[in-house]
């Protein structure tokens, strides 16, 4: 097979689509993920693709970008039929895809990742030249990066930025973005959406997979909705709203936060998680946390917000025992956290942002993932040997309680949708005697229903008396779920807010370093429930 575009018949239209998918079918065993889908995307438009987890959106786009081969169907680009043997073939005709789960090399620098497969880079290109090239790419697209930094040390938000830049730098004419704003701050999301509109105005076709309906309504020209592998509808943005899109996706009205509400707690609270004067370096030896102190009480959700890369990753890792602090202490229920085992022993549940990389093992079945916290103890283990029958029964009961889409606990976790994988992870972490939970971007990449389920579980944990530390890039989520909110900037807690929903703009300013401006926020903000802890 020739790579990329094969000689084909011109389509009969005078204005050929940038990308035309015809009669597309993809099956995985007995499951039909994409079922006879016909969908055309035009140059110069932002086309949003919606659907609940498992609806077939990402599979359809993986077919279009050469990551999967269709079982049936045709792909047309610019009026000519093409066939792809790999993503490189798709890039050769101008189709690039940025995935929700990253495809970067952690051991390489940002500049080296941006250079992989690039035609303008040779083996003789020096590191200095690669860094300069990366800086120029970042400047061109308005997405700053640290060129010399190892990708493995980046936060999820920073990695996503590198993925987007790498794809854009290949001269793509059809850019497919899978949940591109899932871990971005509101300001970053607005900036990205503005960049997308500008690229579309210059003739690029943008395909935008998202679960954020308000965001879709702000950026899309047309919106397509998939259900259970089928194309349900394609409509212009005009005339749509959150309610109408929810009905197209689910047959019922699903406001993103309507069914989750913070119930006031009037009882006495005591400190459960106590963080005192944490100082910590990142993997490069640079200061990541600079004297961070706060407490999380029982029956409380403390939200932590900040632009990605301001110490959130290191904070999560120190509290959960995955990283040693340079100085300072973390205590959970009075017990010091020294490592992962001591954190778990103190009753800490952990929902990491990378559920498939840190929380679950995709290559293992559901039942093995379900017992990761209790595989050393009876009745799952007897005499040092895991009792597979007992473990499977426990996993089946857990799958039933969290309402997984399958009760076959032998299914590999990598075959679960994002929503079902997160249900499994949250169910496992909350099953048992817990005092506290650290949840990092817990609804990232989930559809409205799955996100509502996870948020409800967090609030149920809070109402049962757990101390919940919510570290999230979704400001709306933090404002909805949190009793208090703290802002982290350059490794410091720079502000604390009660009644935070009333001060969204102030919090956004703090996230961007606004507390450092000449205009002191101390008077007006403190009067409305904010405190300023900056130096």
**What's 375-422 look like in SS3?**
CCCCCCEECCEECHHHHHHHHHHHHHHCCCCCCCCCCEHHHCCHHHHH
**Residue-level length of the chain:** 535
Residues 520 and 438 in one domain: yes
* For range 519-534, the mean pLDDT: 42
Using the predicted structure, report yes or no on whether residue 14 has a pLDDT greater than 80. Answer: no
Convert the pLDDT of each residue in 44-60 to its tens digit: 999 999 987 778 898 99
Residues 78 and 108 in one domain: no
Domain end call among 152, 170, 188: 170
Convert the pLDDT of each residue in 472-515 to its tens digit: 877 888 999 999 999 998 899 999 999 887 788 788 778 767 67
Using the predicted structure, report yes or no on whether residue 3 has a pLDDT greater than 90. Answer: no
Using the predicted structure, report yes or no on whether residue 262 has a pLDDT greater than 60. Answer: yes
Beta carbons of 60 and 24 less than 8 angstroms apart? yes
- Residue 291, classed as helix, strand or coil, is strand
Residues 16 and 80 in one domain: yes
Give the pLDDT band of residue 456 (cuts 50, 70, 90): very high
**Mean pLDDT score across all residues of the chain:** 86
* For range 69-85, the mean pLDDT: 94
> What does pTM read for this prediction?
0.64
User: What pLDDT was estimated at residue 450?
Assistant: 83
Q: Which residue has the tokens 């840190």?
A: 358
The whole domain housing 138 covers 101-170
* For range 191-216, the mean pLDDT: 86
Domain end call among 137, 154, 170: 170
Using the predicted structure, report yes or no on whether residue 209 has a pLDDT greater than 60. Answer: yes
Residues 442 and 524 in one domain: yes
What percent of the chain clears pLDDT 70, i.e. is strictly above it?
Answer: 89
Beta bridge partners of residue 25, listed in sequence order: 72
Q: Which residue has the tokens 């949003």?
A: 48
Residues 74 and 197 in one domain: yes
What percent of the chain clears pLDDT 90, i.e. is strictly above it?
Answer: 53
Neighbours of 157 (CB within 10 A): 22
Residues 76 and 204 in one domain: yes
Residues 115 and 228 in one domain: no
Of the listed ranges 6-15, 163-172, 298-307, 347-356, the one predicted with least confidence:
6-15
Beta carbons of 469 and 300 less than 8 angstroms apart? no
User: What pLDDT was estimated at residue 473?
Assistant: 76
Neighbours of 214 (CB within 10 A): 13
Beta carbons of 510 and 517 less than 8 angstroms apart? no
User: What pLDDT was estimated at residue 156?
Assistant: 65
Strands 80-82 and 230-236: unpaired
């Amino acid at each position: 097979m020739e790579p990329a575009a094969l000689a084909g018949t011109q389509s009969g239209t005078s204005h050929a689509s940038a990308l035309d998918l015809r009669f597309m079918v993809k099956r995985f065993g007995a499951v039909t993920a994409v079922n006879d889908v016909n969908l055309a995307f035009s140059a110069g438009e932002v086309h949003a693709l919606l659907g609940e987890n498992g609806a077939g959106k990402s599979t359809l786009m993986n077919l279009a970008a050469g990551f999967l081969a269709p079982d049936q169907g045709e792909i047309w680009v610019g009026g000519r039929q093409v066939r792809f043997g790999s993503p490189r073939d798709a890039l050769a005709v101008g189709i690039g895809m940025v995935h929700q789960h990253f495809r970067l090399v952690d051991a390489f620098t940002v500049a080296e990742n941006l250079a992989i497969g690039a035609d303008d880079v040779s083996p003789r290109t020096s590191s200095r030249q690669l860094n300069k090239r990366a800086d120029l790419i970042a400047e061109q697209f308005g997405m700053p990066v640290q060129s010399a930094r190892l990708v493995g040390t980046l936060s999820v938000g920073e990695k996503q930025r590198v993925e987007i830049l790498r794809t854009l730098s290949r001269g793509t004419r059809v850019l497919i973005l899978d949940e591109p704003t899932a871990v971005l701050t509101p300001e970053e999301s607005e900036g990205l959406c503005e960049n997308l509109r500008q690229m579309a105005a210059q003739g690029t076709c943008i395909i935008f997979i998202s679960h954020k309906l308000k965001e879709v309504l702000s950026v899309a020209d047309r919106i397509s909705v998939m259900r259970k592998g089928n194309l349900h509808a394609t409509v212009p943005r005009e005339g749509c709203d959150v309610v109408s899109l929810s009905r197209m996706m689910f047959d019922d009205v699903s406001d993103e936060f309507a069914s989750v509400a913070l119930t006031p707690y009037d009882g006495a609270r005591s400190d459960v998680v106590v963080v005192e004067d944490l100082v910590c370096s990142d993997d490069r030896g640079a200061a990541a946390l600079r004297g961070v102190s706060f407490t999380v009480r029982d029956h409380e959700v403390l939200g932590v917000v900040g632009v990605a890369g301001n110490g959130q990753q290191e904070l999560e890792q120190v509290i959960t025992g995955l990283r040693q602090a340079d100085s300072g202490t973390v205590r959970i229920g009075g017990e010091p956290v020294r490592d992962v085992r001591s954190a778990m022993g103190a009753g800490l549940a952990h929902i990491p942002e990378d559920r498939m990389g840190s929380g679950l093992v995709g290559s293992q079945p559901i039942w093995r993932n379900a017992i990761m916290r209790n595989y050393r103890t009876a009745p799952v283990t007897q005499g040092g040997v895991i009792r597979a029958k007992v473990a499977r029964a426990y996993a089946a009961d857990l799958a039933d309680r969290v309402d997984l889409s399958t009760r076959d606990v032998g299914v590999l976790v990598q075959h679960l949708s994002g929503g079902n994988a997160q249900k499994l992870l949250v169910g496992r972490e909350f099953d048992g005697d817990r005092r506290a939970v650290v949840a990092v971007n817990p609804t990232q990449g989930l559809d409205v229903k799955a996100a509502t389920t996870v948020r409800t579980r967090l609030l149920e944990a809070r109402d049962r008396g757990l101390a919940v530390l919510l570290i999230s890039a979704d400001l709306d989520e933090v404002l909805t779920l949190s009793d208090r909110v703290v802002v982290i900037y350059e490794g410091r807690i720079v502000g604390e807010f009660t009644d935070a929903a009333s001060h969204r703009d102030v919090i956004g300013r703090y996230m961007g370093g606004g507390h450092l401006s000449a205009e002191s926020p101390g008077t007006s903000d403190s009067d409305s429930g904010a405190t300023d802890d900056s130096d």
